[in-house]
């Protein structure tokens, strides 16, 4: 006997940091001007002087870096570090600004990195380098960014050092 699935299925759950589209995962992350966070740690400025934003970012393990647009760059007042070339999946190559440093925070994790500025993008893109440094990963079934369950309290770093 064949059992048919009821048409009265529950609607898909939309997870807090995920989006139910195949292959697309979004997460809410905080971005801070890391130069200002350094000044705060040295007690040279007050906490309310540190520029910061909470943004919804596309999480992409196929990308390397943090990618932002001009609006985010201007709101965080991030200085130019250098100009570099980036190559897109379709082999198009353009010259871009690299700015920073940017502090990225997700849940109990943080990292500091540079960011590529693509003026025409709408989504902030969280790439694999900051993800690896924060020890976060994509939960494939729930399609959301999570703290690595193997290391729930403190990020783990892998080092290969000759003994």
Q: What is the pLDDT of residues 113-134, one digit of tens each?
A: 999 999 888 889 999 999 999 9
Instruction: Look at residue 109 and tell me if it is in a domain.
Output: yes
Instruction: Look at residue 93 and tell me if it is in a domain.
Output: yes
Instruction: Look at residue 78 and tell me if it is in a domain.
Output: yes
Q: Can you give the C-alpha Rg of the chain in angstroms? A: 19
Instruction: Look at residue 20 and tell me if it is in a domain.
Output: no
**Are 69 and 119 in contact, with CB atoms under 8 Å apart?**
yes
Task: List the structure tokens of 39.
Answer: 């000044």
Task: Place 22 in a pLDDT band, splitting at 50, 70 and 90.
Answer: low
Instruction: Look at residue 19 and tell me if it is in a domain.
Output: no
Question: Per the structure, how many domains does the chain have?
Answer: 1
């Amino acid at each position: 006997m064949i059992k048919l699935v009821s048409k009265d299925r529950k609607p898909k759950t939309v997870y807090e940091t995920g989006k139910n589209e195949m292959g697309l995962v979004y997460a809410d992350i905080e971005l801070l001007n890391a130069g200002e966070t350094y000044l705060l740690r040295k007690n040279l400025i007050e906490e309310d002087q540190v520029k910061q934003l909470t943004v919804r970012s596309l999480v992409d393990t196929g990308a390397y870096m943090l990618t932002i647009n001009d609006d985010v760059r201007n709101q965080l007042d991030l200085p130019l570090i250098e100009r570099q070339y980036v190559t897109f999946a379709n082999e198009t190559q353009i010259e871009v600004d690299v700015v920073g440093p940017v502090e990225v925070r997700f849940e109990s994790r943080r990292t500091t990195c540079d960011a590529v500025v693509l003026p025409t993008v709408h989504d902030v893109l969280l790439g694999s380098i900051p993800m690896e440094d924060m020890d976060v990963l994509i939960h494939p079934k729930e399609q959301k960014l999570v703290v690595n369950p193997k290391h729930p309290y403190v990020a783990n770093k892998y080092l290969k050092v000759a003994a």
